Every structure is written in structure tokens, then in C-alpha cells.
């Protein structure tokens, strides 16, 4: 292993600042050592830009489907089917991201910036290779995959270009995820935030231009949405690399750009479990769709709309969970496991208050929220019921997601994989089937099962977290 870097570490002597000054510092980017300042301040400095980062992702998802929906049902179907195929790519990207955050944060906590930079390069190389392999297959067989997913002939004809570009250009997804995870592991959440805001604002601006042919842009229909997405994300990746080379909290210099099989192996060991962890959760939601679909298209449409609103609300709270992962990794690297634990409990408390407020809003006003998306009389009751019942589980999920990310930040990607399997496959799916079909509760039973699964995830993850075995994890 290389000797620790002699490069200056982040400042450990913060000036006394008020709340709003701390918020401004968080958005601008802090150079403080998060293992030395107060735990509450460290959480705020990391969580604020991470929450804003995820908020932009939420906004993009809504705006993107808004423009595509103007092209008709075939275009929407193309996007939905392609998103299903992208689930594997997202899982790989998230698995590699979790591993990159854990390893970079641990090295950064040790003040070993040379090792942190070298680890970042290995993560980028592995991600690029995986994207290349998946991209070639996806681009060549886009039409075949759409047909295999059950797309109608007209959907395949109109959507093959969109699917080919999205799958073939998945390197922008992969690198955007992984390099932002590297920034977060180093504690540079502000750069990760700016990257995603740049990429998604460009995407939002270019989307309708390429879809409808505004101004000098060609009219490409649904394919234009894919072109805009890849341009926006591609420019975001260029910005990421410029930031890495420019240097900040983490600088990647010429000598770091060499492959290290040993580090790549460590990265892949962590990433494999984290990828499976994501696939388990994603597949469980597909299982719920199959159950809800038994009760007709109106029930399925209501469920789909409500879950989109749920995801819109939950993505920002993932920012706080990501902050916990960084603080765990850095504090374990600094030899301060008790401080790492305090960081997690405080982050979970903040997340509880945030999602608690969202719960009150969704429980009190579900119908007005749903009617922003649909006024179909057969769909609204299902969407309202789903939003109200599932949001009751947010207060449980607030702690559960933070604990899951804390395990990942410690480099223990196996434990949350087991937790997800137990809660989502041994509890959520069987319970949803039993309530909805066995007890004849219909879709309402599925919604109840989701909330119960959130509660189970919270209880199981807290019990395992309190045992403290993650503190001894070596990565």
C-alpha cells in the first residue's frame, strides 16, 4: 500500500458560523475535516448539497415524462419499458457507487489522499468497462429487447431509436453515478450537487428542443429525449473530470491514472453485494406491479402515479442517507467508530423530521396531489389510497434507509443485502399477496404491505446496527 499523502488535509479549525452561514458554506463547498468538527455541523454541511442534488433528480424525472407524454401512449410506453431495461444498469452503477463511496471515504478519513485518488481511478475504469459491454449489447439489440418486453409493433418502430441511444449511451449514467459517489466519499458533496444540477438543467432545457424541433434543433420525437439526456449527462461527466483534474478535496493527478488489480478486486467484492442489494429492492417493486395488475388497469394506473409521487418525495431524503455513508466511512478511517455511530443517529433523526413533515402533507392532502397528475374518476381513488397508506411508512423508512447507507459506508454491503431480501421478499411480497388476494383486500392490501415492509426494514436494520459489527469492517 502506498504511503499516506503528505498533501495538506482539510482544515480542522472551523470559524464560528451561524445557521445560514453554514448553509451557504455547504452549498459553496467546505474544506473542513468532517472527522474533527461537531457532528451536527458535519451532517448539515454534507446533507444540504446531497438533498439538493437528489431534489434535482426528482425534478428531472417529472419534467422528462411531462414532455414525452405529449407524444402519446407509445412514447410513454417506450420510456417505461426502457427504464425497466435500464434497471440492471442502474443497479450496477449504484453498486459500484456504494463501493466507491466506502473506499474513498475510508482512505480520506485516514488522510491518505494518494490511495483515495488511486481508488477513484479504479472505480472509474471498472464502471467504464461495464458500461461499454452493456452499451454494445443494448444498442445492437434494442428492438429485440423492446419486443421481448411485450411492446406493440408500433411502439417498437417508434421507440427503437430511443432505447438504442439510452442503452448504448449508458456510460454517461455509469460515470455520473460513480464519480459523484467519489466526490461524496471525499466529502465534496457540493461538486456532486453542481454536477447533477448542470446535467439535469441541460437535459430539461434540451428535451423539448429535440423532441419537438424547436428553433434550429431537429424534430426527433421520443428519440430526442434520449439525445437530450445523453448530451446533458455527457457534459456533466466532462465537468466531473475537469473537477477531478483541477483538484479540490480530492485531486486525481497523472500518476494516479494506472490500473491496480488488487484495488479493483476489492472494489468489485463490495460492489457485487451492493448491486445485488439494489436488484433485490427493484425486483420486489416489479413483483408488486404484477399483484396490483390483477385488479385492472385503473388500479395499476393509480398505483403507478402514487409511487411516482412517493419516489419524488423520497429521493431528497436519500441525500441525508448518503451523508451518513460518507461520515461513517471517514470516521472509521480516522479511527473514531463512536463518532461514526453518533453521525448515523443524528442523520436518522433529521431524516425522521423531514419525512415526517412529508407524511403529514401526503396523509392530509392526498387527493389534491394526485389530481395534479390525473382526474380520471376510476384512477384517483386507488392513487389516493396508495399515497396515504404508503406515506405512513415514511417515518419508518427514514431511519431504515439511513441505517442501510451507514452499513454501505462502512464497507459492509452484505448486511443491507440480507435486510432487503428479508424485508422485501420474505415479508413484503408474500404479505401483499396474502392481504390483496387471500384476504380479498384488493390493492389496499398491497399498499399496507409496503408500509409494513418499511417498518420491518427499520426494526431489522436498527437491531443489526446496534450490534456494532460494522465498526470492525476492514476495507
User: What pLDDT, in 10s, does the model give residues 193-233?
Assistant: 999 999 999 999 999 999 999 989 999 998 999 999 999 99
**Mean pLDDT score of the chain:** 89
pLDDT of 350-390, one tens digit each?
999 999 999 999 999 999 998 887 788 888 899 999 999 99
The pLDDT, as a whole number, for residue 20 is 80
The model's confidence at residue 88, banded by pLDDT at 50, 70 and 90, is: confident
Of 14-18, 188-192, 394-398, the poorest mean pLDDT is in 14-18
Phi-psi group of 345: left, alpha or beta (phi > 0 → left; psi -120 to 50 → alpha; rest → beta): alpha
Q: In terms of C-beta density within 10 A (0-12 exposed, 13-18 middle, 19 or more buried), how is residue 363 classed?
A: middle
The model's confidence at residue 17, banded by pLDDT at 50, 70 and 90, is: low
pLDDT of 433-442, one tens digit each?
999 999 999 9
Angle, vertex CA 415, rays to CA 411 and CA 417, nearest 5: 105
Whether the pLDDT of residue 9 is over 60: the answer is: no
Percent of the chain having pLDDT more than 90? 67
The model's confidence at residue 49, banded by pLDDT at 50, 70 and 90, is: very high
Whether the pLDDT of residue 402 is over 80: the answer is: yes
Please tell me the distance from the alpha carbon of residue 184 to that of residue 318, in angstroms, as a whole number. Answer: 13
Residues in the chain: 475
Q: In terms of C-beta density within 10 A (0-12 exposed, 13-18 middle, 19 or more buried), how is residue 216 classed?
A: exposed
The pLDDT, as a whole number, for residue 78 is 79
Instruction: Please check whether residue 119 is in contact with residue 100, taking contact to mean a CB–CB distance below 8 angstroms.
Output: yes
The pLDDT, as a whole number, for residue 1 is 41
Measured N-to-C along each axis, helices 222-246 and 73-109 cross at an angle, to the nearest 10 degrees, of 10
The model's confidence at residue 455, banded by pLDDT at 50, 70 and 90, is: very high
pTM (predicted TM-score)? 0.88
Instruction: Compute how many other C-beta atoms are within 10 angstroms of the C-beta atom of residue 230.
Output: 20
pLDDT of 234-284, one tens digit each?
999 999 999 999 888 888 988 999 999 999 999 999 999 999 999 998 888
The pLDDT, as a whole number, for residue 10 is 54
Whether the pLDDT of residue 170 is over 80: the answer is: yes
Angle, vertex CA 28, rays to CA 25 and CA 33, nearest 5: 55
The model's confidence at residue 293, banded by pLDDT at 50, 70 and 90, is: confident
Q: How far is CA 134 from CA 112, 137, 173, 218, in A?
A: 33, 5, 12, 28
Can you say how many angstroms the Cα of residue 448 is from the centroid of all Cα atoms in its chain? 24
Please tell me the distance from the alpha carbon of residue 188 to that of residue 117, in angstroms, as a whole number. Answer: 13
Whether the pLDDT of residue 328 is over 70: the answer is: yes
The model's confidence at residue 79, banded by pLDDT at 50, 70 and 90, is: confident
pLDDT of 95-117, one tens digit each?
999 999 999 999 999 999 999 99
Whether the pLDDT of residue 315 is over 50: the answer is: yes
For residues 8-16, give the mean pLDDT: 50
Domain ranges of the chain: 19-472
Amino acid at each position: 500500500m502506498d504511503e499516506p499523502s503528505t498533501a495538506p488535509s482539510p482544515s480542522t479549525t472551523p470559524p464560528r458560523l451561524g445557521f445560514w452561514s453554514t448553509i451557504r458554506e455547504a452549498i459553496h463547498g467546505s474544506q473542513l475535516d468532517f472527522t474533527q468538527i461537531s457532528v451536527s455541523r458535519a451532517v448539515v454541511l454534507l446533507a444540504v448539497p446531497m438533498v439538493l442534488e437528489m431534489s434535482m433528480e426528482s425534478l428531472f424525472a417529472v419534467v422528462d415524462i411531462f414532455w414525452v407524454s405529449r407524444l402519446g401512449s407509445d412514447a410513454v410506453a417506450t420510456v417505461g419499458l426502457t427504464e425497466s431495461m435500464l434497471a440492471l444498469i442502474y443497479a450496477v452503477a449504484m453498486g459500484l457507487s456504494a463501493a466507491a463511496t466506502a473506499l474513498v471515504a475510508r482512505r480520506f478519513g485516514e488522510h491518505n489522499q494518494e490511495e483515495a485518488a488511486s481508488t477513484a481511478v479504479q472505480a472509474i475504469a471498472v464502471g467504464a468497462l461495464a458500461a461499454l459491454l452493456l452499451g454494445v449489447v443494448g444498442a445492437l439489440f434494442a428492438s429485440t429487447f423492446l419486443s421481448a418486453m411485450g411492446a406493440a409493433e408500433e411502439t417498437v418502430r417508434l421507440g427503437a431509436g430511443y432505447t438504442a441511444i439510452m442503452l448504448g449511451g449508458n456510460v454517461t449514467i455509469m460515470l455520473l453515478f460513480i464519480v459523484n459517489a467519489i466526490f461524496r466519499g471525499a466529502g465534496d458533496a457540493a461538486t456532486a450537487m453542481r454536477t447533477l444540477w448542470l446535467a439535469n438543467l441541460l437535459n430539461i432545457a434540451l428535451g423539448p428542443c429535440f423532441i419537438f424541433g424547436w428553433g434550429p434543433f431537429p424534430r426527433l420525437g421520443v428519440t430526442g429525449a434520449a439525445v437530450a439526456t445523453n448530451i446533458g449527462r455527457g457534459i456533466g461527466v466532462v465537468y466531473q473530470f475537469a473537477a477531478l483534474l483541477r483538484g479540490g478535496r480530492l485531486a486525481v493527478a497523472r500518476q494516479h491514472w494506472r490500473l491496480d488489480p488488487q484495488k479493483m478486486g476489492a472494489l468489485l467484492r463490495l460492489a457485487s453485494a451492493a448491486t445485488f442489494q439494489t436488484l433485490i429492492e427493484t425486483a420486489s417493486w416489479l413483483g408488486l406491479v404484477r399483484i396490483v395488475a390483477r385488479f385492472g388497469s385503473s388500479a395499476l394506473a393509480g398505483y403507478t402515479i402514487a409511487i411516482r409521487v412517493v419516489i419524488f418525495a423520497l429521493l431528497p431524503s436519500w441525500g441525508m442517507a448518503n451523508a451518513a455513508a460518507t461520515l461513517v466511512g471517514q470516521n472509521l478511517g480516522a479511527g473514531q467508530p463512536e463518532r461514526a455511530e453518533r453521525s448515523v443517529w443524528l442523520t436518522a433523526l433529521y431524516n425522521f423530521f423531514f419525512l415526517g413533515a412529508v407524511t403529514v402533507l401526503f396523509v392530509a392532502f392526498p387527493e389534491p396531489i394526485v389530481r395534479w397528475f390525473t382526474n380520471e374518476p376510476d384512477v384517483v381513488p386507488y392513487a389516493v389510497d396508495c399515497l396515504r397508506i404508503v406515506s405512513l411508512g415514511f417515518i419508518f423508512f427514514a431511519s431504515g434507509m439511513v441505517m442501510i447507507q451507514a452499513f454501505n459506508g462502512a464497507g459492509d454491503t452484505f448486511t443491507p443485502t440480507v435486510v432487503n431480501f428479508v424485508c422485501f421478499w420474505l415479508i413484503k411480497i408474500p404479505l401483499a399477496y396474502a392481504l390483496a388476494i387471500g384476504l380479498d383486500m384488493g390493492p389496499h392490501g398491497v399498499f399496507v404491505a409496503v408500509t409494513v415492509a418499511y417498518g420491518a426494514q427499520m426494526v431489522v436494520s436498527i437491531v443489526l446496527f446496534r450490534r456494532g459489527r460494522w465498526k470492525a469492517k476492514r476495507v
